[in-house]
């Protein structure tokens, strides 16, 4: 079975029907849900998923309880949750600092570290260009759903 890393934006799009990229994301999320892919998510990504789902003005809105239920039933039960160590977090920050990368790129670097740590053969994201810039050696496995 192919091990696939799921960026926050793919998980959110896969579960929120009103998301503009729902159809394409839903297909790969369903593959992980049904066991055709072995899905991986960063532990910090759980908080990102909750944050995005509950603050974005989706129609209909996603309530905090609905977001929690989706995470409980669909992500925590069906995806491998990977934890990064303090040293891995510090290394990600060092990488960004040395490259002069600012802002939210740190989150993408953390996602990429998690994908590397778990030996993922695919990385699904809607930020393909950014992920490939941050990890050119993984460019061939970084895909949009």
Which domain CATH number covers 92?
A: 3.40.50.1010
This prediction's pTM: 0.94
pLDDT of the residue at 1: 92
pLDDT of the residue at 37: 96
Q: Total structural domains in the chain?
A: 1
- Tokens in use for 33? 């849900």
pLDDT of the residue at 116: 97
Q: How many residues does the chain have?
A: 145
**Measured at the alpha carbon of residue 135, what is the angle toward residues 92 and 47, in degrees to the nearest 5?**
50
Q: Which mean pLDDT values do the consecutive 10-residue runs of the chain (145 residues) have?
A: 97 94 96 94 96 92 95 94 98 95 94 98 97 96 97
Cβ-contact 79, 32 below 8 angstroms: yes
CA distance 63 to 34: 25
CA distance 138 to 124: 12
Dihedral pair phi/psi, residue 47, rounded to 5°? -65, -40
pLDDT of the residue at 41: 98
Q: Which domain holds residue 7?
A: 2-143
pLDDT of the residue at 62: 93
């Amino acid at each position: 079975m192919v091990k696939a890393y799921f960026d926050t934006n793919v998980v959110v799009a896969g579960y929120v029907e009103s998301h503009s990229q729902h159809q394409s994301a839903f297909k790969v999320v369903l593959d992980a849900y049904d066991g055709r892919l072995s899905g991986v998510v960063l532990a910090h990504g759980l908080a990102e998923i909750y944050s995005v789902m509950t603050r974005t003005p989706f129609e209909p809105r996603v309530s905090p309880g609905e977001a929690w239920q989706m995470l409980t039933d669909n992500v925590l039960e069906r995806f491998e949750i990977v934890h990064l160590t303090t040293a891995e977090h510090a290394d990600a920050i060092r990488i960004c600092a040395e490259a002069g990368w600012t802002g939210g790129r740190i989150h993408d670097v953390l996602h990429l570290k998690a994908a590397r740590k778990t030996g993922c053969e695919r990385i699904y994201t809607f930020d393909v260009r950014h992920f490939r810039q941050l990890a050119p050696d993984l460019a061939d496995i970084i895909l949009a759903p």
